Amino acid sequence: MRALIFASRNTKEITRELSTSLFGIGFPVVLLILLSAIDKSIPDGYGPDLFNIEKLAPGITVFGLSFLCLFSSMLISKDRTTSFVLRLFTSPLKPSDFILGYTMPLLPLAVLQGIVCYLCALCFGLKVSLNLIVAVVVNIPIAVVFIALGLLFGSILNEKAVGGICGALITNLSAWLSNIWFDTAMVGGAFKAVADCLPFSHAVNVARAAAAGDFGGIFPDLWWVIAYAVVLTVAAIAVFTAKLKKN
């Protein structure tokens, strides 16, 4: 209940920054349109298989979720630099309530982002299927991974620093190490090993399997994603607790 009350406040903060939310939803759509148009212009058999709409659309939805890392980090770091968070420290809210209160308002944005991307993909040949509903649902734990990452960095860094870490570094890591633009197996070696250890490629595998109706193929990649979501959320709570005690 306490987390819900705090979440309602954060929802208002997010809706005030409407342009930021629209960018998070619109930019992946622009990428989807651009890459789909490029794929359509390439003769069959010559373009990369990853740019086929059946694989591209789920990958783009996962990439779009990386912007939630920036949104959540900016939200919590901004509060940390104001007197607002000092007043919250005197409230009965627990550290877990804070983290849940920051997380919950961003989950509907993640769902909306997935829906918009898949609706756009229908215009480029993606088949209408109930599998797309499952694909949107499995994006939720993927979204939690990015949100928790943002809250973790936002609990440590100031508002300017999180822009570079969560806005540039995490976004690029999720792009290059996720099998969206190219297969990491083509590079191989340490690059693939690192990619396999991080959650991004597993997240894309989950989204693609769900969209294709390959429900058996969702696992074990989904367990990787869920494990990262839990560990990062717990880490965010622990770091925020340490900051709470310090203040």
| Whole-number pLDDT of residue 47 | 55
For the whole model, what pTM was predicted?
A: 0.91
Q: Give the rounded distance of the alpha carbon of 103 from its chain centre.
A: 11
Q: What is the pLDDT of residue 101?
A: 87
CA–CA distance, 221 with 70 (Å, rounded to integer): 24
The end-to-end CA distance of the chain, in Å, is: 25
Side chain identity at residue 131, one-letter code: N
Burial class (CB in 10 A: 0-12, 13-18, 19+), 31: middle
Residue 83: its pLDDT value, please? 62
Report which of 114, 17, 18 is spatially closest to residue 64, judged by C-alpha positions: 114
Domain of 132 in residue numbering reads as: 2-246
pLDDT of residue 224: 95
| pLDDT score of 22 | 78
User: Structural domain tally of the chain?
Assistant: 1
pLDDT lower than 50: segments of the chain: none
Tell me the CA distances in angstroms from 123 to 68, 132, 183, 207, one per residue in order. 26, 14, 25, 19
What is residue 172's predicted lDDT score, i.e. its pLDDT?
85
Q: pLDDT of 34-92, one tens digit each?
A: 888 777 776 665 556 667 888 889 999 999 999 899 888 888 888 777 766 666 666 67
pLDDT at 112: 92
Question: Which pLDDT score, from 0 to 100, does residue 212 have?
Answer: 93
**In this predicted structure, what is the pLDDT of residue 114?**
93
Question: Are the C-beta atoms of 77 and 158 separated by less than 8 Å?
Answer: yes
